[in-house]
């Protein structure tokens, strides 16, 4: 993938699926500050409602940053729906749960052919998140 950014050399469209407002603001502000475009979805249902538009647009230079524990539709359901529509959306997983929980989601994502760029336990270190996105190129 060829990303470009004003500060890091790469512009990435970030699809942020995060239900906690404080976390969403922090992540959005930090990612925007380094030149990325951020679209925030407050839960998995809202994101999945827009999923067909993403498939039609055939997104490039796009990364999904996905919280796994959310109301309405959780990360499991989001990953399943992404896989079912055949979208190979590079993804970064986030959760406050332990490493075994993250490993389960990585295996599920891989089964659907969804590339996992990184996974983080919350609270996410912004510098590590930005580095994972930059490494996606």
Domains of the chain as residue ranges with CATH: 13-134 (3.40.50.2300)
Q: Is 16 exposed, middle or buried (0-12, 13-18, 19+ CB in 10 A)?
A: buried
Model confidence pLDDT, tens digit, residues 65-124: 999 999 999 999 999 999 999 999 999 999 988 777 888 888 899 999 999 999 999 999
Residue 13 in 3-state DSSP? strand
State yes or no: pLDDT of 1 exceeds 60: no
């Amino acid at each position: 993938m060829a990303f470009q950014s004003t500060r890091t050399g790469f512009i990435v469209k970030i699809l942020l699926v995060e239900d906690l407002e404080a976390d969403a603001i922090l992540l959005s502000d930090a990612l925007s500050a380094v030149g990325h475009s951020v679209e925030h979805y407050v839960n998995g249902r809202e994101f999945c409602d827009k999923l067909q538009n993403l498939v039609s647009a055939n997104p490039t230079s796009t990364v999904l940053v996905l919280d796994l524990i959310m109301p309405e539709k959780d990360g499991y359901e989001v990953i399943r729906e992404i896989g079912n529509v055949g979208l190979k959306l590079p993804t970064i997983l986030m959760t406050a749960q332990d490493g075994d929980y993250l490993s389960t989601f990585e295996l599920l994502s891989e089964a659907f052919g969804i590339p996992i760029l990184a996974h983080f336990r919350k609270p996410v270190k912004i510098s590590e998140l930005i580095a994972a996105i930059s490494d996606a190129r």
